[in-house]
Amino acid sequence: MDAYVALEGGRVVEARARAPGRTRGELVFTTAYTGYEESLTDPSYEEQVLTFSYPLVGNYGVRDERLESERVHPRAVVARELTDDVAEWLASEDVPAVDHLDTRDLVTSIREEGAMKCGIAAGEDVTPEDALAELAECKGMSEHVDIGKQVSVDAPTVYNADGAGADVALVDCGAKGSIVESLVERDATVHRLPYDATPADIEAVDPDLLFISNGPGDPKNFQAAQSLVTEFAGEIPLAGICLGQQVIADALGGETEKMAFGHRGVNQPVRDLRSGQVVMTTQNHGYTVADPGPLSVTQVNVNDDTPEGLESEDLGVITRQYHPEANPGPHDTLGFFDDVLAMTDVGARAPVVAD
């Protein structure tokens, strides 16, 4: 073996190096069995080490049109078996990757002990001590409080400038490309703004809807986005996905907390409390809303009753903890985009079908 994964607690797991390098991060897992291209380019995985629970990753290659951002975001990738296509892609991105280890055992450890820090060393002449040294560095690191800077656009970007639908100010805390696409498909004009946008930036757009995106890490690290929510709640309709739900809840007087191992996968069941309907959803988050504050919980996770949907008619707020745009995953909840656009004066428009 030419790779080692050092786990909190002192255990070191041997593996095979598929893309060389040494790194460290929080070890998390996803249960998704397709959509590895989308998962690997999801900014929500920034600074984490992603373990795939499905045994084979890469059986349909790598296609640029499936990517959710411009680069791979996990610090490293762990799998039971990686195909050459994916391994070569990760190597080209300078992202260490290892396989030929028991990922079932790793996933069980995470589920029992929670997400944990790890160190990885992969390549020629590496030793277990190299991985342990990376772990020691990781233990001494605090969570990156300015992580938004690593995943957000540097300057405002406009999509579908001539759209006949709503003007949406999308605060990019690590937004997936599919969120932009889902809004543009409904003929919205999307103004994608940096994570640290100011109230003046929002006023310059004069949007019909303020949308807080998904993203990595602790929602309390996104103070600028919380300030926007506080400033415009009740004046402009508000929507949020994943981290966006947490940011909005925190800003309006609620509370968020870190979960033991989070929700990551494409088969998370969510129940709507009004209709009783259960839908399958795509999720990727390590924090959750513990107290919704002035917002009403409208949807919950069937497995653990954590809030999956928050709303306030008085404040004009609709949020979802899961990813309605999916990619990868089921499209049971795409109607969320119709619902949030319906809050605007422009209203919802039917998705534009490409020729």
Catalytic entry in 242, 285, 308, 311: 242
177 known member of a binding site: no
284 known member of a binding site: yes
- Is residue 174 a contact partner of residue 43, using CB atoms and an 8 Å limit? yes
User: Nearest 5°: CA angle at 332, between 326 and 338?
Assistant: 85
114 known member of a binding site: no
- Is residue 176 a contact partner of residue 211, using CB atoms and an 8 Å limit? no
246 known member of a binding site: yes
123 known member of a binding site: no
Q: Determine the Cα–Cα distance for residues 324 and 282; give it in Å rounded to an integer.
A: 7
Q: Determine the Cα–Cα distance for residues 119 and 130; give it in Å rounded to an integer.
A: 8
Catalytic entry in 73, 191, 285, 323: 323
Q: How would DSSP label each residue in 275-326? A: T--EEEEEEEEEEEEEE-TTSEEEEEETTT--EEEEEETTTTEEEESSBTT-
44 known member of a binding site: yes
User: Nearest 5°: CA angle at 107, between 104 and 108?
Assistant: 85
Rg of the chain over CA atoms, in angstroms?
20
- Is residue 68 a contact partner of residue 41, using CB atoms and an 8 Å limit? yes
- Is residue 289 a contact partner of residue 263, using CB atoms and an 8 Å limit? no
Chain-centre distance of CA 277, in angstroms? 25
Render the burial of 94-116: b for 16+ CB within 10 Å, e for the rest: ebbbbbbbebeebbebbeeebbb
Q: How would DSSP label each residue in 125-140? A: T--HHHHHHHHHHHHT
Q: Establish whether 325 is a catalytic residue.
A: yes
217 known member of a binding site: yes
In sign, the C-alpha dihedral spanning 17, 21, 27, 32 is: negative
Q: How would DSSP label each residue in 162-208? A: T-SS-EEEEE-SS--HHHHHHHHTTT-EEEEE-TT--HHHHHHH--S
234 known member of a binding site: no
Residues tagged in the binding site annotation for L-glutamine: 44, 215, 217, 243, 246, 284, 286-287
Give binding residues as ranges.
44, 215, 217, 243, 246, 284, 286-287
Catalytic residues, which ones?
Answer: 242, 323, 325
